[in-house]
A and B are shown apart, each in its own frame.
Chain A
Amino acid sequence: MFKFFNHIIASTWKETLLLRRDKAGLLVLFFMPAALVIIITLVQENIMELSGEKKSAILFLDQDHGQIATRLRQSLHDSKRVTLVELDGATVRRDEAIARVRRGDYQVGVIIPEGTSTRLEARIETLFAADAPSGKASDGDLILVYFDPGVLPGFRSGILAALQLATFNIEMELKVKALQENVAVLLAGQQMMMGGGGKKPDLGLTHLQENLLTISEEQAGSKREESAPSAVQHNIPAWALFGLFFTCIPLAGSLLVERNSGIWIRLMTMPISSVSLLIGKIIGYVGVCFSQILLIVLIGHFLFPTLGLPAFTINGHLVPLVVISLCCSLAACGYGVLLGSVCTSLEQASMFGSISIVITAALGGVLVPPYAMPGVMQRISGFSPLNWGLSAYQDVLLRGSSIAQISGDLCRLLAFFLVLLLISWWLNRRSQ
């Protein structure tokens, strides 16, 4: 056992030395994700609409059963960009709906509280009634909107704007109607009071500008959730993951150098287990992965604010984040070992490795969040290891999930690692 650990240490030491000297490789590993995360985040922050084509799922909880719901539903339908999922306001409770949005099942939840329509109608009625009290009306009703903490700000503001426009229209229409009905009475009354003086009659038109219905944006996340969901919170883990998976290429390269020279032959004639050598190698590369993540996190935390972007925060979720990072690093290493076993040259490994990572990253939601993808792609996305890693990161960063809650993704990542190691082992045996 002591010897086994000694071999692991020797192997890690050797791998670290070699890595430190591969300046070009390190430059790519660290520079590429750093540059990508800065550029992409700067670009995305300025996009108001994240995607024009795709439909997002909106949870619609109507507890009111009045005309506001009918009208809002209509205008959301018309906007074609969203799919409405109706919940029966009579059976589903409000906190239940909120929980579904918080879990990320739906991107938006719209709740129309009971009695909103009747109250609004009644108030408009009184506003323009002849005996209406002058001055500002009291605060109006709220329509509650909950957002999945994972949605990007562009999407968020798009939805809010659409809802605001819809409520404004409803309100306006009701007010104009009330005004029309009362205008004759109002005019007569005013003239009587003024005694035919030159002053313009007050029809209560200032009430037209008042908002009686307010869209209230609520926080769906847990109480201790302070992190503002933004492109930053999405992009930092996403691009850190992207860069991290690229370590599989130098790892495959180091295996290929050993296999294609006499080194592997010499090692195999020594009284050592190849498992200890492999563990040592993987430890070295997991170290690289962690350095990459650290670099990206530091960029997000310290550099982003100087570029006018929000700072990336981990909100004290250090332990789950380290656990996720470890699982992702292992998954990347497993892929590297497989590449090193399947490919015959470093060129092959780099080509195949980088293309496959870009594809898996795109599928996994690094470029575009999975919820913004078409339905088929969303389902395919579930097969990408980068998706498992990313969704685990986001669950922790945005939804405050515990390790137990993300254990599914963690297990998938570890299983991916182990299965790829087994396949590599089998391939190596077969090649004899």
Chain B
Amino acid sequence: MLDLKKQGKFPDNESFQWCHESMSAVASHSDRARSATIAIEVDSLVKIYKNATDPALNNFSLSVEGGSFFGLLGPNGAGKTTALSIITGLLAPDSGSVTILGLRLDRHLRQIQTKIGLVPQDLALYENLTATENLVFFGRLYGLAGRELQTEIDRCLEFTQLQEQRNRRVSTFSGGMKRRLNLSAGMLYQPDILFLDEPTVGIDAQSRQLIHERLTDLNRQGTTLIYTTHYMEEAQELCSHVGIIDDGRIIQQGRTMDLTRQQGFNNLNDLFFSITGKKLRDV
């Protein structure tokens, strides 16, 4: 049983390493040094949706250091979700390339998928299953089983403080609890990089605070976080790095501290409005 579990998990690691090595062998020495610290490298993504006139992404380039807490900030309709969808392999770009942990996304999707987690903007939970059952389902898809699955579920539920409600159906949860469970499901299997698409929209202050704390913990433990939001205070508080996106392209990116100070602003909020303007964005 234990052997089978390992079989489920290890081939991916091995093939991942194999690919990594073979690629590094071709790459130059300096490239190898860079790929050790750069978790995500996105180069000139262009995406025009069917039946759309304006591109959702227009030469979108981004570079995220390993271990950073990266905030992708932008008004509604700026292209945040589209960018995450392409970077996580859900959507094919019209042009441009994505490299994650040194692996080209278009060539090594399966290996990359074992290293990343996504907490989607819309809740990704079965309403008629309990919290535990939801996690069991997603955990089993990651190849977890038996004791290992159980410990992983316990860890995730404890992390988001849902142990008490573990056997309640999701349909009976409050918005905040659902958001927390949504986060738990994304943490299963302990991904190296976790993408979060507006994970705190429309929830109570306590749940929001808890999620903030947990994400900070997760980042300290070494997980690279990519976090989209349009709450500037949140980004200011949490993110080590930010990128500001509008009209499908990154307009500013860098360390949160440096960026505001360089541009002569007190906080991210002022910087954001100076860049994106105050025009209403209703999409």
Q: A interface vs B, CB < 8 Å?
A: 2-3, 6-7, 9-10, 13-14, 17-18, 21-22, 257, 260-263, 265-272, 431-432
> Residues of B contacting A3 with CB < 8 Å?
8, 143
Whether A271 contacts B120 by the Cβ 8 Å rule is no
Whether B118 contacts A265 by the Cβ 8 Å rule is yes
> Residues of B contacting A432 with CB < 8 Å?
50, 91-92
Whether A10 contacts B122 by the Cβ 8 Å rule is no
Tell me which of B4, B116, B118, B138 contacts A2 (CB under 8 A): B4
Closest 9 CB pairs of A and B: A262-B120, A262-B124, A262-B122, A10-B140, A266-B124, A271-B113, A269-B118, A265-B120, A21-B128
Q: Which A residue sits closest to B120, measured CB to CB?
A: A262
CA distance A228 to B140 in the complex (A): 51
CA distance A2 to B4 in the complex (A): 8
With A13-B137, A265-B118 as known contacts, state yes or no: A18 contacts B129, CB within 8 Å: yes
> Residues of A contacting B12 with CB < 8 Å?
271
Whether A10 contacts B137 by the Cβ 8 Å rule is yes
B154 adjacent to chain A (CB < 8 Å): no
Whether B137 contacts A271 by the Cβ 8 Å rule is no
Whether B129 contacts A2 by the Cβ 8 Å rule is no
Whether B89 contacts A267 by the Cβ 8 Å rule is no
CA distance A317 to B121 in the complex (A): 53
With A18-B129, A263-B126 as known contacts, state yes or no: A6 contacts B120, CB within 8 Å: no
CA distance A148 to B117 in the complex (A): 63
CA distance A279 to B195 in the complex (A): 28
Q: Which A residue sits closest to B115, measured CB to CB?
A: A271
B62 CB to closest chain A CB, in angstroms? 18
CA distance A315 to B185 in the complex (A): 51
Q: Which A residue sits closest to B126, measured CB to CB?
A: A18
> Residues of B contacting A269 with CB < 8 Å?
88-90, 113, 116-118
Chain B 171-187 interface mask (CB, 8 Å, partner A; 1/0)? 00000000000100110
Chain B 234-264 interface mask (CB, 8 Å, partner A; 1/0)? 0000000000000000000000000000000
B225 CB to closest chain A CB, in angstroms? 15
B216 CB to closest chain A CB, in angstroms? 23
With A269-B113, A432-B91, A432-B92 as known contacts, state yes or no: A261 contacts B125, CB within 8 Å: yes
Whether A10 contacts B141 by the Cβ 8 Å rule is yes
Whether A271 contacts B118 by the Cβ 8 Å rule is no
Chain B 107-149 interface mask (CB, 8 Å, partner A; 1/0)? 0001001101110111111111100010001101111010000
Q: Which B residue sits closest to A273, measured CB to CB?
A: B110
CA distance A261 to B88 in the complex (A): 17
B7 adjacent to chain A (CB < 8 Å): yes
With A262-B124, A432-B91 as known contacts, state yes or no: A270 contacts B129, CB within 8 Å: no
Whether A14 contacts B114 by the Cβ 8 Å rule is no
> Residues of A contacting B85 with CB < 8 Å?
265
CA distance A266 to B140 in the complex (A): 14
Q: Which B residue sits closest to A13, measured CB to CB?
A: B137
- Give the number of A-B contacts (CB < 8 Å): 84
Whether B128 contacts A265 by the Cβ 8 Å rule is no
Q: Which B residue sits closest to A263, measured CB to CB?
A: B124
Using A257-B127, A267-B141 as known contacts, list a sample of 6 further A-B pairs with CB atoms less than 8 Å apart, ordered by residue number in A: A6-B143, A9-B140, A18-B129, A265-B85, A266-B185, A270-B142
A114 CB to closest chain B CB, in angstroms? 72
A321 CB to closest chain B CB, in angstroms? 33
Whether B133 contacts A270 by the Cβ 8 Å rule is no
B4 CB to closest chain A CB, in angstroms? 6
Q: Which B residue sits closest to A276, measured CB to CB?
A: B141
> Residues of A contacting B50 with CB < 8 Å?
431-432
CA distance A3 to B88 in the complex (A): 22
Can you name 15 A-B residue pairings with CB atoms under 8 Å? A6-B140, A7-B141, A10-B137, A14-B129, A261-B123, A261-B125, A262-B124, A262-B182, A263-B124, A265-B122, A266-B138, A268-B90, A270-B141, A271-B142, A272-B141
> Residues of A contacting B90 with CB < 8 Å?
265, 268-269
CA distance A368 to B90 in the complex (A): 48
CA distance A265 to B145 in the complex (A): 23
A399 CB to closest chain B CB, in angstroms? 44
Whether A270 contacts B113 by the Cβ 8 Å rule is yes
Whether A14 contacts B182 by the Cβ 8 Å rule is no
Whether A266 contacts B91 by the Cβ 8 Å rule is no
> Residues of A contacting B143 with CB < 8 Å?
3, 6
Tell me which of B110, B118, B126 contacts A14 (CB under 8 A): B126
> Residues of B contacting A14 with CB < 8 Å?
126, 129, 133, 137
Q: Which B residue sits closest to A21, measured CB to CB?
A: B128
Whether B125 contacts A2 by the Cβ 8 Å rule is no
> Residues of B contacting A257 with CB < 8 Å?
126-127
Whether B92 contacts A2 by the Cβ 8 Å rule is no
> Residues of B contacting A263 with CB < 8 Å?
124-126
Q: Which B residue sits closest to A7, measured CB to CB?
A: B141
With A7-B141, A271-B12, A432-B91 as known contacts, state yes or no: A265 contacts B124, CB within 8 Å: yes
A259 CB to closest chain B CB, in angstroms? 10
With A22-B128, A262-B123 as known contacts, state yes or no: A6 contacts B8, CB within 8 Å: yes
A121 CB to closest chain B CB, in angstroms? 79
B197 CB to closest chain A CB, in angstroms? 8
CA distance A265 to B119 in the complex (A): 9
CA distance A3 to B90 in the complex (A): 21
Whether B8 contacts A261 by the Cβ 8 Å rule is no
> Residues of A contacting B122 with CB < 8 Å?
260-262, 265
Whether B110 contacts A271 by the Cβ 8 Å rule is yes
Which among A2, A22, A263, A265 has the highest number of chain B CB atoms within 10 Å? A265
B57 CB to closest chain A CB, in angstroms? 14
Which among B50, B89, B124 has the highest number of chain A CB atoms within 10 Å? B124
> Residues of A contacting B4 with CB < 8 Å?
2
Tell me which of A7, A18, A262, A272 contacts B128 (CB under 8 A): A18
> Residues of A contacting B138 with CB < 8 Å?
266, 270
Q: Which B residue sits closest to A431, measured CB to CB?
A: B50
CA distance A263 to B182 in the complex (A): 10
CA distance A147 to B78 in the complex (A): 73
B31 CB to closest chain A CB, in angstroms? 26
CA distance A267 to B74 in the complex (A): 26
Whether A266 contacts B137 by the Cβ 8 Å rule is no
Chain B 71-94 interface mask (CB, 8 Å, partner A; 1/0)? 000000000000001001111100
